[in-house]
Structure 1
Amino acid sequence: MSIINKILARRTQLSQQGCLIGDWVIAHPEKAAQLTSQALANQVGVSQSSIVKFSQKMGYKGYSEFKLALNEEIGRKQVMQSTPMHSDILADDPMTVISQKLVKAKTEAMFQTTNALSYEACHQAVAWLNGARRVQLVGIGSSALTAKDLSFKLLKLGITALCEQDSHVQIAVARTLGVDDVQIVISFSGERKEILVATEAAKEQGAKVIALLGPGRSRIRHIADITFDTIADETKHRSSSIASRTAQNVITDLLFISLVQQRDESARQLISDISSDIKQILS
């Protein structure tokens, strides 16, 4: 697992200072790889000992080992980007190469995203969705496609799912939510103002907020009750946010399948209870 993904996967285990360090490293990996422990501490605004503890929390003996691993990871990434089989699709690529690059990009997105998952958070999210009065799904652009797909799946399970495309309507719906409702926010960048306003509105009404976000700092990450990191190497050369949507779909499909399991189990228990009642009546 890459260092960035280690930070994301273990973020819930970090102290407040550890989260600050991790977020800074994720945002500035190349710069972090060149700094001393004291210089990094000054940049983040923490003590030097906090840098050492953070490095150990990531599985390294100290900051020197962490910094060496970070430099090696950056070097490997630069080499990969310079090879012909880098996942960016070029204008003159033949279809055979395009297909291989697509498989590589999508597989990598799924692998990294599932590696960073907190399954405890997954169980909690499924419990909230299973008991929700209504579920609002919020997304703009390519993320709206993921939101719409999940809304259809929730409707199949009998869960009231609200998924509007217009950002103004999304905000209006968010203001009608209550403590028995859940909002799922899907945004790879986490920077769209409309999404932020809808998230804040749902939180103000007491709704539980589940966010699917790309790695990095954002205000939505601090508002949401549960955050799932969708990890994808998106660049300006790749169209339609293919890798990020693949990462998002890994999370939404996992939540959906888990909901199916729970509801099947509930249905089997209900049938068993009814059968027992009938047997008691007939006996």
Structure 2
Amino acid sequence: MNAPLLKIRSERDHMSAIERRIADFVLENAHLLRDYSSQQLANALGISQSSVVKFSQKFGFKGYPDLKYSVGESLARGDGNDDNGGPPASPAAHPHATLAEGLWRAKAEAEEETRMINPPENIDAIAGAIRDAGKVFVIGLGPDGIQARAFAMKLSLLGILAVHHFDPVLVPAAVSTTSASDVLLAFAEHGRQASLCQIARLFHERGGKVVTVTRHTANPLRAHADLSLLVSAHDEHAHIELLLYQTALQQLLDLIFQLLCEDEGRLQQLSINLELMQPMLDT
């Protein structure tokens, strides 16, 4: 869309009160808009996040990240004709910059969509289950194993007993020691691995709680979940979609880690463990 700021300004008088508040913020702070997520903008204006999304869609954008990106491009071209103190038009961007901007835009959209399909109460429930767990079993196969291992390591740094597995054949023996307070975190993008479904069933039989980490689709593994982390990341190019999935999932995991760090004892344990690790990293 060409000159989104001009479009917003021209239609301001026909907007609702909430829409005018959003429009005024965008027009007055266009050069700062990139630093605001839809939730941060909503908080700043005292409105709902959905109002920001609907405002963006009203002007033909898929969502707020799309609007934000378009405003940034408009300012760079200098075609906004605005008086908001934005930077002057810049010379033609290097192809690398164009690639980076496009990827950033796609990642922002995937992160926002993912956040909207994971209600805060669900995130809190998962963080609470991990916080109260006697043991946290973590498993992910193939590419899913990379983020599973990294998250298990972060849990260990907080003093949470995290047991990472990469071979499903060995998991049933470990599951035999499961108690009702234990949690299984099963990472599987498409949730189709029969071995993980079997492990989830075994875990339930022992009274443990199963948390699945998959795409936002109906899949066999998710059907076994007590709680689910869901990821929405789509692109027509497979290599881009892979990056979007990893980014959106990492944001979810980082949010849960932050919630766990609100426990002062866990935070102190993290500091102690990082200090213990440092001498080994320095040698």
TM-score (norm 1): 0.57
The higher relative CO (CA closer than 8 Å, separation ≥ 6) is in 1
Q: 1:211 to 1:266 in 2, by over 3 A?
A: same
Equivalent residue number for residue 260 of structure 2? 259
Equivalent residue number for residue 103 of structure 2? 102
What CA deviation, in whole Å up to 9, does each residue of 1:11-36 have, x standing for no partner?
xxxxxxxxxxxxxxxxxxxxxxxxxx
Which amino acid counterpart does residue 138 of structure 1 have in structure 2? Answer: I
Equivalent residue number for residue 161 of structure 1? 162
What CA deviation, in whole Å up to 9, does each residue of 1:125-180 have, x standing for no partner?
22211111110111112211111111111011100111122222234433432212
Equivalent residue number for residue 220 of structure 2? 219
Q: 1:143 to 1:132 in 2, by over 3 A?
A: same
Structure 1 alignment gaps of length 5 or more: 1-58, 60-71, 78-92, 268-283
What CA deviation, in whole Å up to 9, does each residue of 1:249-276 have, x standing for no partner?
1221111110010245997xxxxxxxxx
SS in 2 for 1:243: helix
CA distance in 2, matches of 1:259, 1:218: 28
Tell me, yes or no, if the aligned pair for 1:142 and 1:240 is still in contact at 8 Å.
no
Post-superposition offset of 1:235: 4.9
Equivalent residue number for residue 64 of structure 1? none
Equivalent residue number for residue 130 of structure 1? 131
Q: 1:159 to 1:254 in 2, by over 3 A?
A: same
Tell me, yes or no, if the aligned pair for 1:167 and 1:194 is still in contact at 8 Å.
yes
Equivalent residue number for residue 197 of structure 1? 198
What CA deviation, in whole Å up to 9, does each residue of 1:81-109 have, x standing for no partner?
xxxxxxxxxxxx95334323321222122
CA distance in 1, matches of 2:253, 2:227: 14
TM-score (norm 2): 0.57
Tell me, yes or no, if the aligned pair for 1:143 and 1:245 is still in contact at 8 Å.
no
Equivalent residue number for residue 188 of structure 2? 187
Tell me, yes or no, if the aligned pair for 1:142 and 1:245 is still in contact at 8 Å.
no
CA distance in 1, matches of 2:165, 2:147: 12
Aligned residues: 183
